[in-house]
Each structure stands twice: as structure tokens, then as C-alpha cells.
Structure 1
Amino acid sequence: MAALRVVVMSGSGRSLLSASRTLHCTRASMSFTSLSRGKKMALSTIGVLTAGGVSLALALHHSVKASELELHPPNFPWSHSGMLSSLDHASVRRGYQVYKQVCAACHSMEYLAFRNLVGVSHTEAEVKALAEEFEIVDGPDEKGEMFTRPGKLSDYFPKPYANPEAARAANNGALPPDLSYIVNARHGGEDYVFSLLTGYCDAPAGVKLLDGVYYNPYFPGQAIGMAPPIYNEIIEFEDGTPATMSQVAKDVCTFLRWAAEPEHDQRKRMGLKILIGASFFLPFAYYLKRHKWTVLKSRKIAYKPPK
């Protein structure tokens, strides 16, 4: 109100500016060093108690979750994990053999067709022979009835069960997941799947499992309804590779990586082409930026009035 009266009486803003100069306000200066010894001790005690309470809450949280019973998969040196590394297609071929003879009894791959194997792990003639081994339900025919026929390249991998209810009934209520994108759908990718397949062990003391449930420290909850699917010499590879447990798990994980990302090799090949093209473009872009555009960007326009 005082400032408003000055403006009304003077009729200009100069009195307001001059009046503001006469106002003085004291600044509150407070620092930890300026406090008394008692206040310093009180603040230090509050800080220690707060930090201790937070630490205790985190410790209790982790103890309730019992996270020490769940193991995180280690990082394995996969041959295709490099920036410019391609998949091992011989391993992909062996991995399909593992899936066909072991995994396909319970797990489906409904997003993968036989034609996807052509040029990746098998020749066209081999894939046709593989597809013809399956009887595919097709129809209806001219009489309106369903019929079975040998598989073709365009057919997708057949499902082991007709519907999810049948799958649960055959596996004690557990639903086997589809393996088409299982590597991308699980945290850890190939590392998790490999650790899960090879990580079955006896339950520790004090842990009781239900009938038909197995202990696996890498599985969330540690109780898994799938029995140990692989072991040494469970199959015989076509190329003579020793079928140890780790080799079988490694090959099927490589196959599942390809199934989840069929464009894996093409993506890395395209990235290499982009890097090579950028190596020729970047020097030209640097020349334009440093020697051409900088002149226009840093110029100064000055107006000189006539004398």
C-alpha cells in the first residue's frame, strides 16, 4: 500500500524505484557450522536413525522375499553375442533336432513354419521330408468333412495338444509355454533357458515340494512342474556331436534364439553396411560443418550508420 501511494502521489514510476531502494531486508544465514553443539548432535542423531531405519526396512524386505533362494543366471560366452557375430547354423540344426525329439512332446511353436528352416538349418528337400512326417488336419473337403494330409512347407509346426485345457490336464495343471519367443520373453534370454535346463538339483533342507513338482533354483519360486527334460546322451546328433547335457542345452538355446529372432544375421549384416557407409559420410559432414557452415554460423552483422 505504501508503494501504491507513492505512485499515485508522484504520477510516475521513478518514486517507486527510489522507494524500493530504501527498503532493507535481512537475509537469514544458517549453516551447520554456525549451530550450537547441542543442535549439531541432535541433527546427527536424526540422520543416523533415519539411515538405520531405511537399511533395516530394506533388509526386512529382502528377507521376506527370500531372494537368496533364487539364483540369477550367469552370463555365458555365446558365439552369437558379439556385435558382428552370426548364429552357429550347425547348432541351430542340432537344436531343432532337440526340439523335435524332446521339447515338441509338450511345448508348441505356433509362430514357426517349416518353410522358415529352409536356407537356415536345412535344405528345401530336407524340410519337405521333415514336414511330410506329420499328419496335418485340413479341410473341409467337397463333402464337408475334415481330412488329414502330409505336411507341407507352408504348414506351421503342429501343436502337441488341441487346446490349453488338454495341455493342463496332461501336465498336472501346469501349462507348458509356447517356445516361439521364449528367449525374448524371459529375463536373461539364452542364459536363463540354459541355466534352467541344466540347473535341476535336490531341494535344500527345510523345503518341501508337492508331488510332481521339481526344485530348480533358477525358476521363479524354485518349484517347477516340468521334469528334467535333458540328460547325457538323451539323443544322438546326426553330425556325430557328443550329446552331453550342456551341448544339448546349448544347441536348443541357439535354436530358440533363432526362432525368436530369425532376422538376427540380417540385422547385424545391415548394421555393418551402415557403419561402412557412415565411415565415408562422416568426414564429408565434418568438412561441411567445420569449414563451410561455421563461416555462416559465426559471422557477425553490424550496422554502421552513415556519417
Structure 2
Amino acid sequence: MIRPIAMLVGAFFVGALLWAIVKTPLTNEVDKMKAFHLEPKELHLASDGPFGHWDTAQLQRGLKVYKEVCAACHGLGQVAFYDFKALGYDEDQVKAIASSWPIQTATINPDTGEAATRAPIISDKLPQPYLNEVAARAANNNAYPPDLSLITKAREGHAPYLYSLLTGYRNPPANLPEELRPSGPLHYNPYFANLNIAMPPPLTAEGQVTYDDGTRATVDQMAKDVTAFLVWTAEPKLATRHAYGWAILGFLLVLTTLAYMSYRSIWADKKH
């Protein structure tokens, strides 16, 4: 009886030792990453808070940044062209925007060997930049660019994280351990979870896009504008929800007041 128990105890300690050997380097590496990881910067958008609303001028600028910079790799599969009416565009303007975004089809153009395209209509969802995940990975060193429709909700830190990530690219610090330094196609960004991200800096210089309203297109401004736009794609009904919420609160306040006044009127002369 003693021998089996001793074997079990011995096996337990051997397993604990192996676990410690396997986990210790990983734990140490995570601790090293935390020492260099930065929390998201502060970001204040018009849509923040219970009185949040959309700054349509900023959203239009953000759409321009997305279209001219981000759309080459990242899709917006949950957004249709007609949704852009909410950004202050009329139907003709939406059609003009859609016309510059040809829709790829599953057929192959026999003359070029490439995917055939068709003219979009405003009820179409925005086209994906790649036909499938295999093509996306092949074009991005095996990294898969995520769809951005819900990105500000899908990532911890939300909009401030995205803004920080876009403006956070820099050279690795001199004291960064060798095992944490970016290699190959990776780029150092202290706002990214493991410090090294496959996406190269998308916003690299002032004037990378030209804003129609004359706003100076600094890297910081472009990052704020596209972040605001992606907050809208993730929750386009936010302003309407806020308006309904305040209307409902007002209704409940009036109803509560009337109910209390009725109570006082009916029971004022009643004795307990």
C-alpha cells in the first residue's frame, strides 16, 4: 500500500518540476514584455459619453483615410455603401464613392487571369481587399489583416487603443532584450500586446491624404479621424440610441412625478 502512494507522490513532484521548467521562461518573457508595454493614450471624441454625437466632418475625413490607406489590406464587411448617408452624403455622392470601389466576383477574367469585377451599387457591402484568407496571408507575410468593421469594440482598450497603436510605432529602446526585438517583417510598437506587430506603420507622413475641408493632415490628425470613423462603423446607431435613452429617461421622470402626485391626491386624507 505504501509503495503505490510513494510512487504517486513521486510522480506528482516530477510533474510539478517539469511544469516549473516549462512555464518559468514564458512567465519571465511575459514579465519582460510588461516592462515595455504601454497603456493606451487618452483620446477624446465627440461620440464619447452619454451626450455623445457624431462629428460628421471628422467621420468624412476618417472615411478618406480608411479608403486611401487602410482599405488596401483591411475590409469593412459589415458596412454598406448606403450607410455613408449617415455621414452627411447625399445619394449621388454615395454613388460616386461606390463607383471607385469595384466589386470582385468569383469568376476569373480570361484575358488577365485575375478576378473579374463589376460596378457596385449602393446596397453592396464594401468589398474585401482579398478574395479569401489564403490570398490575404500570401500578400502579408502570412499575417491575416482583420476586418475593421467592429475593431474598436473587439479590442481591449477600444478607440484609445486603436489610436495609440496607429501613432505608436517607434524604434526599439536600447535596453529592450534581444528576444523581444522585432525580427523579419515585424515592427516594434509598445501598445501592441507582444510589442511586435506584423502590420507596418500605415500612417507615415503629414499630407499622406488630402482632406477636402482643408484640415491639416498630420499623422496624429489622421489617426484620430480614422479611429472616429471606425467607432462609427462599430456602432452607427450610437447617437440615435443616446437620443432615445434621454427621451425615455424624460418620460420616466414625468411618469414618476405624475404617479407621485396621484398618490398624494388619493391618499392625502387617508389615515393609516
TM-score when normalising by structure 2:
0.78
Q: 2:74 aligned with 1:129, yes or no?
A: no
Given candidates 61, 64, 68, the residue that maps to 1:94 is: 61
Match of 1:233 in 2: 207
Given candidates 194, 199, 204, the residue that maps to 2:173 is: 204
Q: CA deviation at 1:165?
A: 1.1
Match of 2:52 in 1: 85
Change (3 A) 1:123 1:63: same
Q: Is the 8 A contact 1:84 1:272 kept in 2?
A: no
Match of 1:68 in 2: 35
Given candidates 183, 188, 193, the residue that maps to 2:157 is: 188
Q: Is the 8 A contact 2:43 2:163 kept in 1?
A: no
Report the Cα distance in structure 1 between the residues aligned to 2:56 and 2:251, rounded to whole angstroms.
Answer: 28
Report the Cα distance in structure 1 between the residues aligned to 2:188 and 2:134, rounded to whole angstroms.
Answer: 25
Q: Unaligned 5+ residue runs, structure 1? A: 1-60, 141-145, 300-307
Q: CA deviation at 1:284?
A: 1.8
Match of 1:281 in 2: 255
Q: CA deviation at 1:98?
A: 0.4
Q: Is the 8 A contact 1:109 1:179 kept in 2?
A: yes
Q: Unaligned 5+ residue runs, structure 2? A: 1-26, 108-114
Instruction: Map residues 117-266 of structure 1 onto 2, 5 A cutoff.
Output: 117-137=84-104, 148-205=117-174, 206-207=177-178, 208-231=181-204, 232-266=206-240
Instruction: Map residues 33-44 of structure 1 onto 2, 5 A cutoff.
Output: none
Change (3 A) 1:293 1:73: farther
Give CA-to-partner distance per residue, 1:38-90, whole Å, 9 cap, x none: xxxxxxxxxxxxxxxxxxxxxxx788533222111133222221311201111
Q: Is the 8 A contact 1:138 1:148 kept in 2?
A: yes
Report the Cα distance in structure 1 between the residues aligned to 2:80 and 2:264, rounded to whole angstroms.
Answer: 53
State the structure with more CA Rg.
1
Which moves more between the two structures, 233-242 or 114-123? 114-123
Change (3 A) 1:101 1:203: same
Q: What amino acid is the match of 2:38?
A: L
TM-score when normalising by structure 1:
0.70
* Aligned residue pair count: 233
Q: CA deviation at 1:147?
A: 6.2
Q: Is the 8 A contact 1:92 1:121 kept in 2?
A: no
Change (3 A) 1:137 1:218: closer
Change (3 A) 1:289 1:129: same
Q: Which has the higher contact order (CA 8 A, sep 6+)?
A: 2
Change (3 A) 1:98 1:62: same
Q: 2:256 aligned with 1:272, yes or no?
A: no
Q: CA deviation at 1:121?
A: 3.5
Q: CA deviation at 1:279?
A: 2.7
Report the Cα distance in structure 2 between the residues aligned to 1:195 and 1:134, rounded to whole angstroms.
Answer: 29
CA RMSD of aligned residues (A): 2.4
Q: What amino acid is the match of 1:236?
A: T
